[in-house]
Chains A and B, each alone.
Chain A
Amino acid sequence: MSNKLIIILVYVSICFSSNAQSIKKISENRKEKFTTNYFQKEYSNDTIIIVFDTNQSSTSLIEDVHFKNEYNFRYFKYSRKYPNLDSCVLLEFYHMAGPHQGHEEYLINKRQVVKKDYQILFDKDHDFIFWFKNESNLESRTLLFVDQIAWESKKNIIKGVGVQISVFGSCDDLIEKN
């Protein structure tokens, strides 16, 4: 067997294996220096994929860099308001590469995660009440955030990032003489 053939076979097998892997971590955000600073999720082995429509008009984005010039940890937060609910109501997903979340970045094989029955939550299928009721449940699991555009694209391997969920309840908390 010629050397060229061996190289081609090795390349194909690498591609095949990376494609076969459902979710692959591609970052090294968690640093030993902060070992004691990371929030310990109760069910971190339980991974849930969240496909979120980042382009909705009521959704805003804040970006920042933590530990500038040292680690340059990426931070971003998508905040969603709900015009039909009061102004206190807010849904947030934030990616915090630095402590205390230490979120990582991933490559996600769409076909594989569907095939392997990963739990996938589609933004378009759920209203605020769903996120509000399930916040505690979700916050204790590993959440992978995927942009809806990427999910709907033809690419099979797409990027996803670890996030944390946060919801803010209604200020509608008074009832008089009912």
Chain B
Amino acid sequence: MYRFFIFILGTGLVVISLWSCSLDDAAPVLPINAVDPIPMAKEFYTQEKPKQVTSSFRIQTEQEIFPFWAGAKSHAGGRMLIVPAHRKVQVRYEVGYLRRFVFELDERGQVIRGGMLELAGKELEFLLRNEVLLVEGFLVGVKSKDLTYLWSDFVARPLDGTQADGRVVTLQREGEGKSRLDAEALRTEFCIDWYWVYSFNGVVVFEVYSHTTCGSASCDSARSANAHDACLDDGVGAGGDGKEVQIIKDPSFKETAADCIYEKLLSINGFKDLASKFEGLGTEFDVLLKIEATKSVTANGQTSYKGPNQPIEITFNIDRMNRSAIEVARTIVHEMIHAEMYRALNTQGLADIDLSFKETFEEYTRQFFGDEDIHHSYMADYWVDKMADMLELIHPQLGKSSFENYMNYSEGYPNGVPKDFYRAIAWEGLMDEDVRGWVNKDSIEKVEILKHINNAIMGTKLCQIN
């Protein structure tokens, strides 16, 4: 009986194994090169995308992204398909940026996974030159520490934002206040700033400005896969996107500590807003940044308004560039605010916000005499707190931790650098007896402000590019 049972079991196993072999033989594996991956990817995309359309916030506000199949290219012996990812929106990218739909296929030509990969950082030329290598690396889990990677589904919902250093990135709009108006706003001339937001263990550690999308009614036409109009964003962006960049750096400014500090300031929301007033299409004024002797030898910096159609020039005093980084940051912000005031006062087609400013500024013109007093009184009343916010936000990138270390004693800053420190340094350049906000301060407040400013001198002078 036992022998019979063994015989039946053995025969059964042989029959089953032969049957399974015959199944394989019935569907022979085609060499992957023989399979056109594009129809497979199209089929995958068509099947998967409807499942994913559950109102992704980014899609609402950044417009639908669609594959430009005519630009698809197969790589890795047909195991990888890279397809340009287009959308119809006006956009300006801050740094090199590349967006692609990526499909990974198995040896049978079946799509294993597909999604949208965004790469940012470095120059666009580098991204394009190494595109295949970078995408291939990403698919097998190899990432460069110099780049930002974001893998999303077809409706831009993040699936994997893990970076080489373990931080997790998301792309968020300024303030990340989700508003139903945003999609509509995008279609009606408004601009939205987007930031790469890096988190570690759920805590936001850093954010960097990525791009600005501007809507317009003319961009709101039905999408088309091969559109080549002014609204087309083909997912390939360089800093400035080859369009107008209207903050001009003189060679004397480029690659100096001040330039490094300026670049870091651009990651700070408030400052980015300031700078953006001079960038993009339709702005009437450029700003030229340079370092040389100032006309007033005792000024830290100087802003020159040279009339319509001329760049507003900001000159940083060459003798004062060796101060602590936080002090140089303060001077940059201070002079940029002067430039912004000149812009808002002299731009022809003023936006509502500029008109409101102009009205308030005219009130100051009636109360004070001379550009300096008017500008500085206005700045003291309206900008000191905003400047303090910007300086507080930039300080961690300019040696705040070491500054905190040596100020950590009972009569220093035992509980960390206080907000008053940043407010105080914002006052430098405004401590004029003709500035109402300063005159109204009592002597104790003035002594406190000077004390904080004296502390700022001790900050690091170094600025290192990330």
- A→B interface (CB under 8 Å): 34, 36-39, 62, 66-67, 85-90, 92, 94, 98-100, 128-129, 132-133, 135-137, 139, 164, 166, 168-178
Contacts and interface: CB of A to CB of B under 8 A. Distances in A.
Given A164-B454, A178-B306, A173 B429 contact: yes
A171 B427 CA distance: 11
A71 B448 CA distance: 22
Closest 9 pairs between A and B when the two form their complex, measured CB to CB: A136-B322, A87-B433, A170-B298, A175-B304, A169-B300, A172-B296, A171-B432, A133-B319, A173-B299
Contacts of A168: 428, 431, 450, 453
15 contacts: A87-B432, A87-B433, A89-B298, A100-B407, A132-B320, A169-B320, A169-B428, A169-B429, A171-B372, A173-B334, A173-B429, A174-B302, A174-B375, A175-B305, A178-B306
B371 interface: yes
A171 B431 contact: yes
Contacts of B435: 171
Given A37-B406, A86-B432, A173-B429, A92 B338 contact: no
Which of B294, B302, B304, B411 counts the most A-chain CB atoms under 10 A from its CB? B411
B307 interface: yes
A98 B412 CA distance: 10
Main secondary structure on B side of the interface with A: loop
A34 B409 contact: yes
Contacts of B447: 62
Given A39-B406, A100-B458, A174 B298 contact: no
B295 interface: yes
Given A38-B406, A128-B298, A164-B454, A173 B412 contact: no
B409 A169 contact: no
Interface string B262-300: 000000000000000000000000000000001111111
Contact of A99 (B302, B371, B409): B409
Interface of B: 294-307, 317, 319-320, 322-323, 334-335, 338, 371-372, 375-376, 405-412, 428-435, 447, 450, 453-455, 457-458, 461
A141 to B, nearest CB: 13
A178 to B, nearest CB: 6
Given A164-B454, A169-B299, A171-B429, A37 B408 contact: yes
Nearest to B435: A171
Given A135-B323, A168-B431, 7 more contacts: A37-B405, A88-B432, A136-B323, A166-B453, A169-B429, A171-B430, A173-B299
Nearest to A67: B411
A69 to B, nearest CB: 13
A77 B301 CA distance: 26
A38 B412 CA distance: 11
Contacts of A88: 429-432
Contacts of B411: 66-67, 98-99
A132 B298 contact: yes
A173 B455 CA distance: 23
A62 B454 CA distance: 14
Contacts of B428: 168-169
A92 B450 CA distance: 10
Contacts of A99: 406, 409, 411-412
A58 to B, nearest CB: 14
A95 to B, nearest CB: 12
B304 A176 contact: yes
A87 B300 contact: no
Contacts of A169: 298-300, 317, 320, 428-429
A176 B296 CA distance: 13
